[in-house]
């Protein structure tokens, strides 16, 4: 969460919603500096290094190589994407309501 917040604070990203799940992350964002590819690679490199160091993984083995992006072209799609992200912990039976999951954008101010 700190890595996401840091990129917001230095004006690299505008984050609309996110959730960190046990085995993946959803980010709904707009890239303010650089390209989406550069942003994701930088994020994965830094967070992967931090995680690998803490849980003793071989280097570059935390994240999968690929990532998936989707483009939103309307307010309706924005709402659908944000609801999907929020519902992820509920759909995974980790909580009953999304606000109970503490690893999402709703649990922390990103300003």
pLDDT, tens digit, 9 for 90 and up, residues 5-39 = 999 999 999 999 999 999 999 999 999 999 999 99
Q: Assess whether pLDDT exceeds 80 at residue 2.
A: yes
Instruction: Write out pLDDT tens, residues 44-79.
Output: 999 998 888 888 887 667 888 888 888 899 999 999
pLDDT at 109: 65
pLDDT at 111: 55
pLDDT at 51: 87
Q: What is the DSSP string of the chain?
A: -HHHHHHHHTTSEEEEEEEE-SS-EEEEEEE-SS-HHHHHHHHHHHHHHHHHHHHTPPTT-SS-S--------SHHHHHHHHHHHHHHHHHTTS-SSGGG-SSBGGGS---
pLDDT at 87: 97
State the Cα–Cα distance between residues 25 and 18, nearest whole angstrom.
7
pLDDT at 59: 67
Domain over 2-107 is classified CATH 3.40.720.10: no
Kindly report the pTM of this predicted structure.
Answer: 0.88
């Amino acid at each position: 969460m700190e890595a996401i917040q840091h990129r917001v604070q230095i004006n690299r990203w505008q984050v609309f919603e996110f959730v960190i799940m046990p085995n993946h992350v959803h980010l709904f964002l707009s890239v303010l500096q650089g390209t989406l590819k550069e942003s994701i690679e930088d994020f994965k490199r830094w967070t992967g290094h931090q995680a690998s160091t803490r849980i003793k993984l071989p280097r570059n083995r935390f994240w999968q190589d690929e990532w998936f992006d989707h483009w939103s072209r309307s307010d309706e799609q924005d709402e659908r994407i944000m609801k999907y992200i929020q519902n992820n912990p509920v759909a995974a039976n980790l909580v009953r309501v999304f606000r109970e999951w503490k690893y999402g954008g709703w649990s922390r101010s990103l300003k």
